[in-house]
Amino acid sequence: MKVIIIEDENLAIKRLIKMIAGTDNSIEIVATLRSIAESVHWLKEHQAPELIFMDIELADGQCFEIFNQVTVNSPVIFTTSYDQYMLRAFEVNSVDYLLKPIEPERLAQALNKHKTIQAHYARQTAPAVNVKQLLNDLRESLDKHQYRKRFLVKSGNKLVSIQTEEIAYFFREGRITFFKTFANGKYITDYTLEELQEEMLEPADFFRINRSSLVSIKSVKTIENFPGNRLHLDLVPAFDKDSIVSRDKVSEFKDWIGK
């Protein structure tokens, strides 16, 4: 299988090549490309490889710009240190999304996924595989809801990764969205409550109780009736505002909390 690597860090390239060789010695690395410009030029001048390993943050920008400048007719395994691009990655040619440092087991899983897809289409009677159809079918075969397992946030001058299961609730103050962890840490997130609710959080675990709050089922300590046919929640950790379930959401909330 002919593969190219798009990555701008020499150590990362060497480590990935070594790991690929240790996982499947039949794979041939035909090119290593270090920038958007170099990648676009190579893809225009060469036959599409069977697979691309692509870092997201390159020296001259994000790799998604490659897809804007040239048609990419190859499945892609994205490699990155950040998890916030996962949804965008699955909008293009993504087979898998590997977080650095890449573990050999995860690399093997990603390659096996690609081989399974190849084998499926090799058994088809059509004389040639429509790559676009393959990629569309791939996306449909993936879990439609790629819920986030973690959030990368700022803490002082550092970036920290917070597991989703550590988050008690999200809330909005003005135009800014925050979340609190069960350890009572407070962080800013770049996503709106609408994005979190519709795209990123498992509905069985999180519920939008009103326009400004979205809570984890594990954070609900007690539930009390509240004037106006609403409900009042006592959350853990304690929230400095009233956590009120809107009247139009009470029935749905009861179904959710009772499952």
Looking at the predicted structure, is the pLDDT value of residue 143 above 50?
Answer: no
Across 80-94, 148-162, 167-181, 231-245, least confident range = 80-94
Alpha-carbon gap, residue 137 to 226, rounded angstroms: 48
Q: Are 150 and 83 spatial neighbours (Cβ–Cβ below 8 Å)? A: yes
Backbone φ and ψ of 102, nearest 5°: -75, 130
Apex CA 210: angle with CA 153 and CA 191, to 5°?
25
Looking at the predicted structure, is the pLDDT value of residue 116 above 90?
Answer: no
The CATH 2.40.50.1020 portion of the chain extends over: 150-258
Third-level CATH fold of 150-258 = OB fold (Dihydrolipoamide Acetyltransferase, E2P) (2.40.50)
2-141 — its CATH code?
3.40.50.2300
131: its two tokens: 């790559």
The CATH 3.40.50.2300 portion of the chain extends over: 2-141
**Stated length of the chain:** 259
Rounded to 10 degrees, the C-alpha dihedral 131/136/140/141 comes to 10
Which secondary-structure segment (H or E) carries 53?
A: strand 51-55
Residues 201-239: pLDDT tens digits? 988 999 999 999 999 999 999 999 999 999 999 999 999
